[in-house]
Amino acid sequence: MNMKKTKMTEHLRARAEDLLAQVGESFQPADIDDINKLHHELAVHQAELELQNEELHRTQLALQSARDLHVELYEHAPVGYVLLDAVGIIRRTNATWRTMLQRPDDDFCGIPFAETLTESDARIFLSRFRSLFHNPANKQIELQIRRHNSSPFHAHITAKRSVGEYGEKGTDALMVTVSDISELKQAEKALQHERDEAKRANAAKTEFLSRMSHELRTPLNAILGFAQLLQLPGEQPLNAQQSNNINEIHHAGMHLLELVNEVLDLARIDSGRLDISLEPVELRPLIERCAVHIENQAKTRDIRLKPPGNNDYTVFADPLRLQQVLSNLLSNAVKYNCEGGSITIECAMAKDQHVRVSVHDTGRGLSPGQISRLFRPFERLESAYDGIEGTGIGLALTKHLVEGMQGRIGVDSEFGAGSTFWFELPQCQGAAVDLDLKTPVATTIVTAHRQNRLQKILYIEDNPANLRLIQKILLGRCADIELLVAKNSAEGLMVAGQEQPNLILLDLNLRGMDGFETLGHLRADPATRAIPVIAVTADTIKPDMEHGPETRFDGYLTKPLNVEIFMQYLNSVFKKSTENK
572: region left, alpha or beta (phi > 0 left; psi from -120 to 50 alpha):
alpha
Query: Going by DSSP bridges, is the β-strand pair 555-558/533-537 parallel, antiparallel, or unpaired?
Result: parallel
Rounded CA gap, 169 and 6, in Å?
37
**Residue 220 · residue 465 · CB < 8 Å:** no
Query: Going by DSSP bridges, is the β-strand pair 90-93/153-166 parallel, antiparallel, or unpaired?
Result: unpaired
Read off the pLDDT of each residue in 354-369 and give the average, rounded to a whole number. 88
Rounded CA gap, 325 and 286, in Å?
11
Read off the pLDDT of each residue in 570-581 and give the average, rounded to a whole number. 68
Kindly state the helix (H) or strand (E) to which residue 460 belongs, with its residue range. strand 455-460
Read off the pLDDT of each residue in 382-408 and give the average, rounded to a whole number. 72
Rounded CA gap, 9 and 1, in Å?
13
Query: Going by DSSP bridges, is the β-strand pair 90-93/342-349 parallel, antiparallel, or unpaired?
Result: unpaired
SS (H, E, C) 313-337: CEEEECHHHHHHHHHHHHHHHHHCC
Angle between helices 240-271 and 182-231 (to 10 degrees): 170
pLDDT tens-digit map of 88-118: 999 989 988 888 888 888 878 889 999 999 9
The DSSP 8-state label assigned to residue 207 in this structure reads H
Closest to 508 in 3D by CA, of 208, 211, 200, 209: 211
Q: In what order do the strands lie in the sheet with 533-537?
A: 481-486, 455-460, 503-507, 533-537, 555-558
- What's residue 443's pLDDT? 27
Kindly state the helix (H) or strand (E) to which residue 130 belongs, with its residue range. helix 119-134
β-sheet bridge partners, residue 356: 348, 424
pTM of the model: 0.44
Give backbone dihedrals phi and psi of 482, rounded to 5 degrees, phi first. -105, 120
Rounded CA gap, 531 and 495, in Å?
13
pLDDT tens-digit map of 41-69: 778 888 888 888 888 888 888 787 777 67
Read off the pLDDT of each residue in 456-478 and give the average, rounded to a whole number. 79
Beta carbons within 8 Å of 118's beta carbon, 6+ residues apart: 143, 144, 145, 146, 152
- What's residue 581's pLDDT? 55
